[in-house]
Amino acid sequence: MTFRFTSIGNSSAVPAYGRIPSAHILNFKESCFLFDCAEGTQMEMMRLGIRRSRIRHIFISHLHGDHYLGLPGLLNTLNLLHHRKEMHVYAFAPLKEIIETEMRISGHQFRFPLHFHDLQEEGSSLLLDETGYEVRDFPLAHRIPCRGFLFREKKTGRKIRPEKLAEYSIPVKEIEKIRSGHDFITADGRLIPNEELTREGRPPRSFAYVTDTLFLEALAETLQGVDLLYHEATFMEKDARRAKETCHSTAMQAARIASLAGAKKLVLGHFSAKYRDLAPLLDEAREIFPESYLSAPGRSFDI
């Protein structure tokens, strides 16, 4: 069952070496989520052969231009290409104002339902609560209000042991009850406990999106046990002072968070334009957290 993270853009504020700023896709079953939407996202998706029309939910971490300037163009293109399905945007309130101003001036109107959901600056909110998954946000520490996002699959029901269906001649209509935890009584009146008929479902998987932020040790708790952590790694350790000044993290700091959180895998991104070659950032991260990887345009990670 699809659960896949794909980078579209992984540069920090300045596009460089063919890398555009932040934009990432998460595919979960049939659903498609966009995390940040830098200028050029729609063109880069087209170039990478990633369908833009599948996106239904867009999460914008904060209102620095390199995280949202591609949104008006993407929405405009979907509009012109006859997109008619609902679209949800989760962002700080002024983004709605900007996009509505642009639409008013242009004389255009969206021909699909566009819902803006305002992010809050404090605490953690449940943004999406759907069959099979939920999305929460949480605070980061940047120069302006900024949020991380935690996407969690819900616990799946217990799995039926197929051999037991035959053994006790279980009728099809009973299966859903057993899956939800009920015992079964056979035709001759024997009670078969649920534990014998089922086994634990697959453990639920999770994905976290963390950009832009200072090194924030408290994140480790929020991110405990996450399967895939995308964490910004704007700088190398030798530029740690610059990272602190600009409220960003180093690759090594991202790795420390992954390690403290007991994450399964770390994907680094949001690289400064000062680094053409990113291998040294990866080396630094792997010293601390061996399951570290570099994001790259079009590179996917299965979760």
Residues forming contacts to a copy of itself in the complex (CB under 8 A) are 13-16, 18, 20, 39-40, 42-43, 46-47, 63-66, 69-70, 72-73, 76-77, 80-81, 92, 94, 97-98, 101-102, 105-108, 143-144
Query: CB 84 → a copy of itself: shortest distance, Å?
Result: 16
Nearer to a copy of itself, 17 or 225 (CB): 17
From 36, 66, 137, 227, the catalytic residue = 66
**Of 70 and 148, which has the nearer Cβ to a copy of itself?**
70
What is the nearest approach in angstroms of a copy of itself to the Cβ of residue 43? 5
- Please provide residue 265's backbone torsions phi and psi, each rounded to the nearest 5 degrees: -150, 145
Neighbouring C-alpha atoms within 13 Å toward the C-beta of 287: 10
Q: Shortest gap between Cβ of 103 and a copy of itself (angstroms)?
A: 9
* Smallest distance, a copy of itself to C-beta of residue 169, A: 60
Give min distance, CB of 244 to a copy of itself, in A: 17
Active site annotation includes 36: no
> What one-character-per-residue DSSP string does the chain give?
--EEEEEEE-B-SS-BTTB-BSEEEEEETTEEEEEEE-TTHHHHHHHHT--GGGEEEEE----SGGGTTTHHHHHHHHHHTT--S-EEEEE-THHHHHHHHHHHHHT---SS-EEEEEPPSSS--EEEEETTEEEEEEE--SSS--EEEEEEEPPPPPEE-HHHHHHTT--GGGHHHHHTT--EE-TTS-EE-HHHHEEPPPPPPEEEEE-S----TTHHHHTTT-SEEEEE--B-GGGHHHHHHTT--BHHHHHHHHHHHT-SEEEEE-B-TT-S--HHHHHHHHHH-SSEEE--TT-EEE-
Is 101 or 224 the residue whose CB approaches a copy of itself more closely?
Answer: 101
Length of the chain: 303
Closest to a copy of itself by CB, 64 vs 256, is 64
User: How far apart are the C-alpha atoms of 131 and 199, rounded to whole Å?
Assistant: 21
Query: Residue 105 or residue 166: which is nearer to a copy of itself going by CB?
Result: 105
Q: How far is the CB of 90 from a copy of itself (least distance, A)?
A: 16
With beta carbons less than 8 A apart as the criterion, state whether 143 and 246 touch.
yes
Q: How far apart are CA 197 and CA 243, in angstroms?
A: 55
Residue 30: both structure tokens together: 């049939």
Q: Looking at beta carbons only, is 46 or 185 nearer to a copy of itself?
A: 46
Active site residues per annotation: 66
